[in-house]
Amino acid sequence: MRKLFIGVLVGALALAVAAIAFGATNQTYSQKYSSTKTNKSVGTTFSTASTDDSNTANNKQPKSVRNFDITFPAGSKIDSKGAPQCTKTDDEILAAGGKPACPKAVIGAGSATVRLPFPNTPDINAKVTAFNRNKGLILYVDPSPTAQPLIIRPTFKGLTLKTPVAPNCLPPATVQSNQCKKQDGTPGQEAVLTSFKLKTVAKKKGKHILIKSPKTCKGTWKFSAKLTYADGTSTKIDSLAPCKK
């Protein structure tokens, strides 16, 4: 389980939670800014969770996500120069134990859980530390002492934060064509993300603001998440956050 993945991004509870039952997987996603006012320096609160209560043979594991992309409300501004940036390598961050590697670049924290496919096995809990980096984030996920910490690097493409999710195969399965498979090509088992929460704080550096809320408001701002699953299917969930001028 060394490469146990617990990721996607950028909790606390949002005011409104969107939920979609996709096949047998029930997926929730919510997000909001730390302020409801327009044109302000803001942080963001993100929360997602999934389960499949009918999948009792595999400990109620939900479908595995391979890409989790979040689009921030239209009119938002994102500038990675608005906070100190962490330039350390994954190895340097792991060697330092997370936060000590880039303490000034820390912009938030959260938690995550991962579920194994073995019936009656409890979820694995992890702590999450978020660092700012050039045009993206670094997420340090620490599930110790159960497994080794790992690094996730979501990247901003405009207002969309794109997070590819690597398969977390359990031996003897290995990653083959972005899937967990045994040597004979049959499906293998993996550890699956069941929840992820992250709360970042408002940051600015000189004239640069890390995240700025839109200049306009019509009652709500729309965040959108697009999830692509291991079986090739995908879904989109919108989360509406209240706003005011």
Structural domain of 31: 18-242
SS3 state at 134: coil
Please check whether residue 9 lies inside any domain of the structure: no
Average pLDDT over residues 193-203: 95
Please check whether residue 221 lies inside any domain of the structure: yes
pLDDT in tens, 140-179: 999 988 888 888 899 999 999 999 888 888 899 998 988 8
Please answer whether residues 108 and 235 qualify as being in contact, where contact means their C-beta atoms are separated by less than 8 angstroms: no
Q: How many structural domains are present in the chain?
A: 1
Question: Residue 146 has which token pair?
Answer: 């159960």
Please check whether residue 177 lies inside any domain of the structure: yes
Q: Residue 211: is its pLDDT beyond 60?
A: yes
Q: Residue 11: is its pLDDT beyond 80?
A: no
Average pLDDT over residues 198-222: 97
The residue among 156, 166, 160 whose CA lies nearest residue 66 is 166
Average pLDDT over residues 58-84: 96
Please check whether residue 1 lies inside any domain of the structure: no
Please check whether residue 10 lies inside any domain of the structure: no
pLDDT in tens, 14-41: 223 454 544 588 999 999 999 999 999 9
Provide the pLDDT for residue 102: 98
Please check whether residue 93 lies inside any domain of the structure: yes
Provide the pLDDT for residue 1: 40
Please check whether residue 11 lies inside any domain of the structure: no
Please check whether residue 83 lies inside any domain of the structure: yes
